Amino acid sequence: MTLMTYMAKNALRNRRRTALTAVSLAISLTVVIFLKTFLLQLTNPPESAKPSARFVVRHRVSLTMGLPRSTEEKIRRMEGVVDISPMQWFQGIYIDEKPKNWFARFAVDPDHFFNVYDDLQTNDLEAFKKTRNGALVGRKLAERHGFKVGDTIVIKGDIFDANPELKVVGIYDMANGAVDTQQMTDWLLFQIKYLDEMLGETTRVSSFFARADTPQRMETLLPAIEEMFRNSDAEVKAETEKAFQMSFLEMMGNVTGLINTLVTVVLFAVLLIAASTMALTIKERTKEVATLKALGFGRGHILALVVGEGMIVSALGGLLGIGGSYAFLPKPGWFAAFALGGIVAIGVMIFMMIITFVISETSQSRIRKIAAGRGGTIAIVVGLTITIALLAVMPPVDWMTLSSGYVPTMEVRKPTLILGFIITVVVGLLSSFWPAFQASRMSVLDGLRKVD
């Protein structure tokens, strides 16, 4: 028998304890990976291969203040500006306020919008321009809601006192080679002139989206725009498209600090669980450790054996947690089904363990025998049953809908996977090192005496 085989046998000696410890680590890693992936998607969404030359001009104080439409022509005349289009966010309610019916709605200028968003394309632009209440819907939105040309979409206004009845005149999609990193094909677009008509006035615009001739031009162009409107009745803030998106995250408060605090708490809890498990394991095998030392195993061997055992248990949990998160986190339905099924399985297993402790060992109770002998199997069967049932009844959902547009996807990225691997190694080392160190220093006589 090799040392590695011996460590593996020791790790699996008490299979129920090992399974519970590994599953606890797996769940903790899943929580950590979920939180870090969510934070990464919020603060650093995937970039397209082509650097963006788009920028945003909004009121310096707040988006709710709005800018006069005359701002557009002044910016358009500046050197380096390719084109500019107003984009007025129209909140509203489609059918009801359920997350599945949420999507972004913008009032835009059809003559300029697709020049600014040159990574979008449509064959129905002329129909959009000619139809007073016409609307274009993105490909992804059309597929999700089943919208097609000729449909009428009624939006009940909330911010604006208007209820636009929009006729779908076309579908737009990403241009060849463009990557939809911002879920732009999940938008609905309608004419800002139609909004003006419903309100009976020329609407002040929450933001103007523009495109510079090169991304490098924005370094001098943006400060120049701000300076041009300084000390006016509507001072502006000009920023890159990415900075504009990040400003919405800042409105939510210190999300980064909150998520990192939760991650720290979760890691501390799982470290305590793993450390207590290893300490209990070594305490139960005091005599065995003493016997190994009597046979000639040195301190280094004992230290390596115990740490190796801890690393095996940690690796099992890490493989389950990291692998499961990578496979199922991008798919909300699958992720929720396996997460809830796993939680139920753990609950059943804990319940079975409680039964075995509550009922006396001398009792011939059939319930205790089932709980002690087949508790793990029952827990797994119940968990899998719940998982399969959820997969069968849960409707298709996506992260864009669940997050109300903040998170387009939950693809686990390489830095998060590396973090999960580091956590697995650190938990395995820290949880087992102190018990291993104590076991390596224990004398043969003390070990044999403590058992007796």
Query: pLDDT per residue over 71-80, tens digit each?
Result: 899 999 999 8
The residue type at 168: V
180: CB partners within 8 A, 6+ apart: 140, 174
Contact 189, 108 (CB under 8 A): yes
State the greatest distance between any 2 C-alpha atoms of the chain, in Å, as a whole number: 95
Percent residues over pLDDT 90 in the chain:
18
Percent residues over pLDDT 70 in the chain:
81
Query: According to the model, what pLDDT value does residue 168 have?
Result: 93
Q: pLDDT band at 170, cuts 50/70/90?
A: very high
Looking at the predicted structure, is the pLDDT value of residue 283 above 80? no
Looking at the predicted structure, is the pLDDT value of residue 83 above 90? yes
Q: Measured between alpha carbons, how far is 59 from 61 in angstroms, rounded to an integer?
A: 6
Let me know how long the chain is. 452
How far is residue 15 from each of residues 11, 273, 281, 308, 311, measured CA to CA in Å?
A: 8, 16, 12, 17, 15
Contact 148, 142 (CB under 8 A): yes
Q: Measured between alpha carbons, how far is 370 from 372 in angstroms, rounded to an integer?
A: 6
Looking at the predicted structure, is the pLDDT value of residue 252 above 60? no
Query: pLDDT per residue over 422-438, tens digit each?
Result: 999 888 888 887 777 77
Query: pLDDT per residue over 133-146, tens digit each?
Result: 999 999 988 988 88
Bridge partners of 108, per DSSP, are: 87, 191
Tell me the average pLDDT across 120-126.
91
Which tokens is 385 given?
């049953």
Pairing between strand 236-240 and 165-174?
Answer: unpaired
Q: How many CB atoms lie within 10 A of CB 421?
A: 14
Contact 17, 317 (CB under 8 A): no
Q: pLDDT band at 452, cuts 50/70/90?
A: very low
Query: pLDDT per residue over 298-329, tens digit each?
Result: 777 777 777 787 888 888 889 989 998 888 88
